[in-house]
Amino acid sequence: MTTRILTGITTTGTPHLGNYAGAIRPAIVASRQSDFDSFYFLADYHALIKCDDPLRIQRSRLEIAATWLAAGLDVDRVTFYRQSDIPEIPELTWLLTCVAAKGLLNRAHAYKASVDKNVEGGEDPDAGITMGLYSYPVLMAADILMFNAHQVPVGRDQIQHVEMARDIGQRFNHLFGNGKEFFVMPEALIEESVATLPGLDGRKMSKSYDNTIPLFSSAKEMKNAISRIVTDSRAPGEAKDPDNSHLFTLYEAFSTPEQCAGFRSDLLQGLGWGEAKNRLFTLLDAQLSEARENYLGLIERPADLEDILLAGAQKARRVATPFLEELREAVGLRSFRTVVQNADTGKKKTAKGARFVSFREDDGSFRFRLLAADGEQLLLSRNFADGKAAGLVSKQLQQGGELDLRSENDRFTLWLDGECVADSPVFADAAARDNAIQTLKLALAPQQD
């Protein structure tokens, strides 16, 4: 079974060594595993909650997209897109908002922390709190549930968001599923071994502390930053304590076990801090120079980045668009054409609760699915130039009559007037295919009211 993993990437600030070691590098390694279907998105809607500087948002999106690609993300293996390029996500956010309990959102850590800070400062509890911050967990739930991710890599401080996505998804399934589980229940994937790197001053490397080493700064800038790493006062020749050295922790995060063992030994034998910093720079520069060159090239070609992200959005929407149509159908946001057809003079109706779901592709063509009562897809139509043509075919199928079904290995096709108009999914074997054909015939068999 393929496991779908979804990773959101914050789009505020410039990526630094801590981001790379703690998130980017392990995520890219994981994306190369054959049993993973990896989705990576730039969480630029989320960024608007924390940042009201348009230029910073614009620049950060560019830098972070270029960073992931330069670091080795293979867009042919993964789905890489901007959150803001998927219109189905905000629509799903609203559907989920309508079932999310206010009490659940009241318990969100970020909201509670802001309220507590206001109360401690003698302010109104909700002073400065936007609806963006308050409803943040619903948007995150939509990010996850839109693509039915099985696992979501998060830090321990974000486990609650995945749990809330589960709660909201379960509520939707209960209200509208009629026995079908629209949403997979995601699991938080906690990476216990992920590195947390110290910054220049020894605290956690963070933009908030202004103690970072930018990932793709020039060689000169990186060397200058490394020279400012705080060390103790032990002179050259005195034994150093690697286990309490921030510089050693940084070296360890980027070295092989053999390199790390040699560096530890040299520190214990009195290697001077100046030379130790030079070795760290040499190590980092060797590892990052090629990626830095790729990054700078991408930054100078923003149109290429745009094309890559738009291609990723199209790939993501091939999943999101038909799924959202199913969800719209489930909550009652249905085409009037379907309603009229089903009520037309009361003569005939599609049996056993089967339903047609129409949708529009990115290229402007129209298609429909025929879903059985349990939600199983029985047919997916070919592309039609307009909605009227697609509607006429679906209406014709509901009129009864002999079906021209043609079996092909473990699938079948449906023909009308000598033209193939729809295809079945691929089934496990011929027996499963034949069972599906019988289900289809029963579903399309007209019944008198």
Binding-site residues for ATP sit at 10-12, 18-19, 155-157, 197, 204-208
Give the side-chain half-sphere CA count within 13 A for 219: 11
CA–CA separation, 61 vs 72, rounded Å? 17
User: Residue 126, CB half-sphere, CA atoms under 13 Å: how many?
Assistant: 6
Longest Cα separation, the chain: 97
Q: For tokens 């080795």, name the residue.
A: 72
Q: Which letter does DSSP use for residue 16 in this model? A: B
Residue count of the chain: 449
Annotated binding site for L-tryptophan: 143
CB 388 within 8 A of CB 420: no
Tell me how far apart the alpha carbons of residues 7 and 191 are, in angstroms, rounded to a whole number. Answer: 13
Quote the CA–CA distance of 314 and 182 in Å, as a whole number: 22
Of 368, 381, 442, nearest in space to 413 by CA: 381
Burial 347-382 (b: 16+ CB within 10 A, else e): ebebeeebbbbbbeeeeebbbbbbbbeeeeebbebb
Residue ranges for the binding site?
10-12, 18-19, 143, 155-157, 197, 204-208
Q: Order of strands, edge to edge, in the sheet holding 355-360?
A: 355-360, 366-371, 377-381, 419-423, 411-416, 404-408
User: Tokens 């980045």 identify what position?
Assistant: 305
DSSP string, 413-444: EEEETTEEEEEPPPPSSHHHHHHHHHHHHHHH
Eight-class DSSP state of 317 = H
Antiparallel, parallel or unpaired: β 404-408 and 411-416: antiparallel
253 three-class SS: helix
Helix ranges (H only) for 1-123 are 17-19, 25-31, 44-50, 54-70, 88-97, 102-106, 109-120
d(CA 432, CA 36): 27
